[in-house]
Amino acid sequence: MHASDSPEILSSLDQGVQILHICRPEKKNALTRAMYRTLADALRRADTDPAVRVILMRGEPDCFTSGNDVNDFLEEEEHAAERPAVQFLKAIAHARKPLVAAVNGLAVGIGTTLLLHCDLVYAAEDAWLQLPFTRLGLCPEAASSVLVPQLMGHQRAAELLLLGERFSAGKAREYGLVNEVLPAAQVLPHALAKALALAALPSEAVQTSKHLLKRSQQAGIDDIMALELVNFTRLLRSPEARAIMQAFLQRKSG
Ligand code: COA
């Protein structure tokens, strides 16, 4: 890791598998700008580092991530395209090395949409996921407006992205977002075993295969994310969204 990296992203390398561990348990692993920046840098560096053959993303035993830090949403100042979250999404969408995710606890917002850019996803049987954008007065991001309907069909996508209710890991598997659902304690060891299996294969063959698998989908991905971002930014500034987010942050003091 580099000196400027966030201490809330732990990184380690084990037999070709770089583990990126989101570790901010007191805030349910909510992602700050510094954490996105560190994740984006790690993904970009991994792409050119021959020692890294596979990336494994994990969170804490009770939370993968509760998504974007709501405080940062309210303080958004940067030019939209320069936001660290956007840089992270570009890095994960274009990652050359295979990405494996181990999901325990909860995965909210970008915690779920980032899974669309992973290659293998393992989740705990008691984990839940949520795409709560409309409930926050927002709209889909991370190319989820296209990738989710492509993956599961319009009606299922509308259920998840318009209603925005929590859904189980079992439903995520049924809808194609998750490869396997396992007892909570087995998720990380299982994901690591699969990551190590991928790392043991000829890396050029694996990376070429990933590129070919994603080629058709990736063609328009930057345009989709740019269109989503215009709308997301507009909605983020709306009084309705700001009131919903302020209410979340103040709920314990009221
Ligand atoms: N941004 C900022 N802070 C967050 C957060 C987020 N996304 N998610 C959780 N936190 C904070 C809480 O404010 C709380 O802080 P406090 O102890 O200083 O009050 C702490 O993390 C623990 O969260 P809490 O809500 O008490 O835990 P819970 O188990 O009752 O609920 C969640 C967990 C994830 C259901 C709930 O925190 C939540 O809905 N978070 C917001 C998710 C969200 O809207 N993300 C944006 C998606 S686009």
pLDDT single digits (tens) 87-135: 999 999 999 999 999 999 999 999 999 999 999 999 999 999 999 999 9
DSSP assigned state of 32: P
- Against a cut of 0.95, is the pTM above it? yes
Helices (H), the chain: 33-48, 70-75, 84-93, 110-113, 144-152, 154-158, 169-174, 184-199, 203-218, 221-236, 239-250
From the CA of 69, how far away is ligand 1's center (Å)? 8
CA gap 176, 116 in Å, rounded = 10
The ligand 1 atom at the shortest distance from the C-alpha of residue 130 is 47
Residue with tokens 């958004």, as numbered in its chain: 76
Decide whether any atom of ligand 1 lies within 6 Å of the 70 Cβ: yes
User: Given its phi and psi angles, is residue 143 left (phi above 0), alpha (psi -120 to 50 degrees) or beta?
Assistant: left
**Residue 25: helix, strand or coil by DSSP?**
helix
Contact between residue 67 and residue 109 where contact means Cβ atoms under 8 Å apart: yes
Query: Nearest Cα to 140, choosing from 119, 166, 112?
Result: 112
> How do residues 35-46 score in pLDDT, each as one tens digit?
999 999 999 999
* C-alpha–C-alpha distance, residues 108 and 144, integer Å: 13
Q: What is the pLDDT of residues 178-189, one digit of tens each?
A: 999 999 999 999
> For the chain, what are the domain ranges?
9-183+204-253
Whether residue 69 has its Cβ less than 6 Å from ligand 1 = yes
Q: What is the CATH number of domain 9-183+204-253?
A: 3.90.226.10
